C-alpha cells in the first residue's frame, strides 16, 4: 500500500458513493482516484460492493434453513418410498445451502430480466415499408433500413452487449464502444462489430451477405461460434445453408445505391449495369441479347427517376427500348470494343 492510499478520508468515499458529496469533495475524490492505479482499483472494488449490496437485500426475504428443511422433507419422503439408503453427496449440506442461496437469487434474476425486457424494456421493432428508414439507436449508432426491412432491439440497448435482430437489408454505422460489442442477429448468422460501417443483406430465412465499408466485422453462425470470419473493408462475406461461411472481395460499387441514391458506372459492362439498375429500381430491366454485353457505360445517376436513366441510355448507347408491361427490354446489335 502506498502513501496515497491512506490519505483519503474514507468517510469522504462513503459520501461520494451515497451522492452526498459537495462539488469540491467530488473533485477531491476524482483526483485521488486518478493519482494512483491502486486507488482506482480500491475504488472500483468499493463501487462494486456498493452497487451490488443494494441488490443483495433480496436475500433477506429468504429463510434458507426453512427452505433447506423443505428439500430434506421431500427427499426423505422419496427415501422412505424407495428405501435406497441415505442421501450423501460429496459436498456438505452447508455448502449445498450456500449454493442454493445463490441459485435462488440467480433464478430471481432470470425471472426479472425477461420480465423487465418484456414489460418495461420492450423490444422495439422498426420496419421500413416502401422507403428506406433511418433508425438512430440509443447509443448513437445509425441503421438505414432498406425497403421492407425491419430491426428489433431492446429499447434501452444498455446491456453488456448491444444486440439487435435484422430482417431484410440495412446499412449500419456503429458507434465505437470497445467494451460493448455490437451484435446483429440475422437468419442464422451473428455479426459482431466494433465501430464500423457496413451493409447487411438478409435475403431469406437462410442467409446473409455482409459488405464492409470501414472497420472490421466478424461473421459467424450462431450455432458455431468457434469459426468466425474476419471481414475487412472491401470484403464481402456470406453465410447460408448451401455454402456455409464464404468470403469474396466486394467489387460491387453500387451495392449501397439504395441508401445513397447514387449509381456510378465507369466503363461498366451493360450486364452489370442492368443488374445494378434492377436492384435499385426493382427488377424491371432486361437485355434482349447477349451481344449487348459488349457495351459499356460511363455515367452517374444521382436520385434520378427511371425515365431519365432510359433517356440517357438511349443517347449514349446504340439501343432500342421497349416497355412491355412492367418489363423494360433493351435490344440492339451490340457495341464495338470501346463504344
Residues that bind another protein (CB under 8 A): 10-11, 13-15, 18, 20, 41-42, 44-46, 48-50, 52-62, 67, 70-71, 74-75, 78, 84, 87, 89-91, 96, 98-111, 113-114, 117-118, 123, 152, 154, 159-161, 163, 165, 179-180, 183, 185, 222
Q: Which long-range contacts (CB under 8 A, 24 or more apart) does 50-54 make?
A: 50/17
**For 155, which DSSP code?**
T
User: Which CB, 37 or 311, lies closer to another protein?
Assistant: 37
In the complex with another protein, the residue whose CB is nearer, 107 or 327, is 107
User: Phi-psi bin for 227: left (phi > 0), alpha (psi -120 to 50), beta?
Assistant: beta
Q: What is the nearest approach in angstroms of another protein to the Cβ of residue 169?
A: 20
Query: Which three-class secondary structure state does DSSP give residue 176?
Result: coil
List, as one string, the DSSP characters of 216-271.
-EEEEETT-TT--EEE-TTEEEEEETTTEEEEEE---TTTTHHHH-EEEEEEEEHH
Helices (H), 116-248: none
Cβ at position 193, least distance to another protein in Å: 15
User: Min. distance of Cβ 110 from another protein in angstroms?
Assistant: 4
Query: Closest CB to another protein among 26 and 180?
Result: 180
Residue 24 or 179: the one with the smaller Cβ distance to another protein is: 179
- DSSP classification of residue 179: T
Please say which residue, 71 or 134, places its beta carbon nearer to another protein. 71
Alpha-carbon distances of 283 from 48, 274, 327, 329, rounded to whole Å: 57, 9, 8, 11
CB of 217 to another protein, least distance (A): 18
For the bound state, the minimum distance from the C-beta of residue 23 to another protein, rounded and expressed in Å, comes to 18
Q: Which is nearer to another protein, 86 or 290 (CB)?
A: 86
215: which 3 cell numbers?
472497420
Identity of the residue, 58 or 288, whose beta carbon is nearer to another protein in the bound complex: 58
C-alpha cell at 101: 442461496
Hey, how many other C-beta atoms are within 10 angstroms of the C-beta on 290? 9
DSSP codes of every residue in 278-320: HHHHTS-EEES-GGGGG-EEEEEEES--HHHHHHHHHHHSS-E
Angle at 166 between CA 107 and CA 225, to 5 degrees: 60
User: CB of residue 77 vs another protein: minimum separation in angstroms?
Assistant: 9
Please state the closest distance from residue 237 (CB atom) to another protein, in A.
21
295 and 339 Cβ atoms separated by less than 8 Å: yes
- C-alpha grid cell, residue 221: 453462425
CB of residue 41 to another protein, shortest distance in Å: 7
**Nearest CB to another protein, comparing residues 140 and 159:** 159
Least spacing, CB of residue 81 vs another protein, in Å:
10
Distances (CA, A) of 12 to 9, 29, 217, 330: 5, 8, 45, 79
183/321 with CB nearer another protein: 183
Amino acid at each position: 500500500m502506498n502513501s496515497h492510499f491512506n490519505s483519503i478520508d474514507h468517510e469522504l468515499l462513503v459520501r461520494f458513493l451515497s451522492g452526498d458529496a459537495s462539488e469540491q469533495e467530488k473533485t477531491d475524490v476524482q483526483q485521488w482516484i486518478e493519482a494512483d492505479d491502486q486507488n482506482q482499483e480500491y475504488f472500483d472494488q468499493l463501487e462494486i460492493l456498493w452497487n451490488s449490496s443494494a441488490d443483495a437485500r433480496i436475500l433477506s426475504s429468504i429463510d434458507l434453513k426453512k427452505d433447506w428443511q423443505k428439500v430434506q422433507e421431500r427427499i426423505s419422503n422419496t427415501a422412505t418410498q424407495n428405501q435406497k439408503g441415505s442421501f450423501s453427496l460429496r459436498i456438505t449440506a452447508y455448502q449445498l445451502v450456500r449454493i442454493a442461496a445463490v441459485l435462488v437469487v440467480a433464478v430471481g434474476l432470470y425471472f426479472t430480466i425477461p420480465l423487465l425486457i418484456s414489460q418495461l424494456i420492450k423490444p422495439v421493432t422498426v420496419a421500413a415499408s416502401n422507403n428506406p428508414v433511418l433508425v438512430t439507436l440509443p447509443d448513437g449508432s445509425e441503421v438505414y433500413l432498406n425497403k421492407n426491412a425491419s430491426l428489433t432491439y431492446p429499447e434501452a440497448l444498455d446491456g453488456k452487449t448491444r444486440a439487435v435482430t435484422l430482417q431484410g437489408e440495412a446499412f449500419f454505422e456503429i458507434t465505437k464502444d470497445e467494451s460493448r460489442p455490437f451484435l446483429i442477429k440475422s437468419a442464422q448468422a451473428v455479426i459482431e462489430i466494433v465501430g464500423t460501417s457496413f451493409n447487411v443483406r438478409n435475403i431469406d430465412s437462410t442467409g446473409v451477405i455482409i459488405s464492409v465499408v470501414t472497420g472490421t466485422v466478424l461473421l459467424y453462425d450462431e450455432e458455431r461460434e468457434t469459426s468466425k470470419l474476419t471481414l475487412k473493408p472491401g470484403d464481402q462475406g456470406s453465410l447460408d445453408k448451401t455454402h456455409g461461411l464464404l468470403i469474396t472481395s466486394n467489387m460491387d460499387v453500387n451495392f449501397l445505391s439504395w441508401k445513397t441514391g447514387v449509381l456510378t458506372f465507369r466503363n461498366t459492362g451493360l450486364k452489370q449495369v442492368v443488374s445494378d439498375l434492377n436492384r435499385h429500381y426493382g427488377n424491371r430491366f432486361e437485355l434482349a441479347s447477349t451481344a449487348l454485353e459488349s457495351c459499356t457505360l460511363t455515367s452517374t445517376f444521382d436520385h434520378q427517376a427511371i425515365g431519365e436513366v432510359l433517356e440517357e441510355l438511349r443517347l449514349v448507347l446504340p439501343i432500342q427500348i421497349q416497355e412491355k408491361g412492367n418489363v423494360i427490354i433493351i435490344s440492339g446489335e451490340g457495341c464495338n470494343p470501346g463504344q
